[in-house]
Amino acid sequence: MEKISIQAEIREGAGKGSARTLRRDGKVPAVLYRAGKAQSIQLSRKELSKLINTVAGEQVMVDLLFADGDKKLALLKDFQVDPIGGELLHTDFFEVSLTETVRVSVHVSTTGEPIGVKRDGGMLQHPIREISIECLPDKIPGKIEVDISKLEVGQSIHVSDLKLEEGVKILTDLHEVIVNVVAAVEEAAAPAAEAVETVAAAEPEVVKKGKKEEEGAAPEKEKKGK
């Protein structure tokens, strides 16, 4: 896993007003979590934006460097961005120790084009795009790559098929499907099959209703005949 260093400062103020002031000064409020405790910190927006753009969704360890010489090893846990202006609003970090295991989610990316799609016109599906693992921080993979070029129609890759470094424990159900290739006709036929089942289920109601009306009409005829 890649490790990046970034300057950090202890944050004294709190609340929305303080956060707005920080952002005007080119800084971003953040929280550093550790063993159920939280410490308010602040970082340079420029450095933090560069960090987020560099990792692009991959797991990365960060050395938070403080002015007093203190250094905290952490994982970037989450960040918030203004949906309208795109401004970085807040980040969360989780402090870790190289001697203690952590549980994290890691993105699973695919490489290659399945033969079942390229040659046979099948459709590629991604039931899950990340898995949960447990390991020491320096064992965390930035991402997990899976070659899907040999997948044919009807074939799939499960969590159990992943080959990870020794010391990395997979927590996600091993039977979970990561990717699979299905025939395109199966996708199109599904709605039609559901429609047939719906009509079949409704027919007994129609027959039953008609029969009831006929049974109720018979005595009326006999009465007129007399």
**What are the tokens at 161?**
């098929």
Q: What is the pLDDT of residue 32?
A: 95
Q: Which of 95, 130, 158 is the last residue of a domain?
A: 95
- Separation of alpha carbons 104 and 172, rounded Å: 11
Enclosing domain of residue 128: 102-182
Residue 155 burial (CB < 10 Å; 0-12/13-18/19+)? middle
Q: Which portions of the chain are predicted below pLDDT 70?
A: 1-2, 13, 15, 186-226
Domain count for the chain, please give it.
2
Domain harbouring 175, CATH code: 2.170.120.20
149 plus 73 within the same structural domain:
no
89 plus 122 within the same structural domain:
no
154 plus 136 within the same structural domain:
yes
90 plus 120 within the same structural domain:
no
107 part of a folded domain? yes
Q: Which of 95, 121, 155 is the last residue of a domain?
A: 95
Give the closest residue to 185 by CA, choosing from 155, 209, 153.
153
195 part of a folded domain? no
20 part of a folded domain? yes
81 plus 129 within the same structural domain:
no
72 plus 150 within the same structural domain:
no
204 part of a folded domain? no
Q: Are 141 and 109 in contact (CB under 8 A)?
A: no
User: 112-141 pLDDT, tens per residue?
Assistant: 999 999 999 999 999 999 999 999 999 999
Domain harbouring 59, CATH code: 2.40.240.10
77 part of a folded domain? yes
125 part of a folded domain? yes
Residue 183 burial (CB < 10 Å; 0-12/13-18/19+)? middle
User: 45-61 pLDDT, tens per residue?
Assistant: 988 888 888 777 788 88
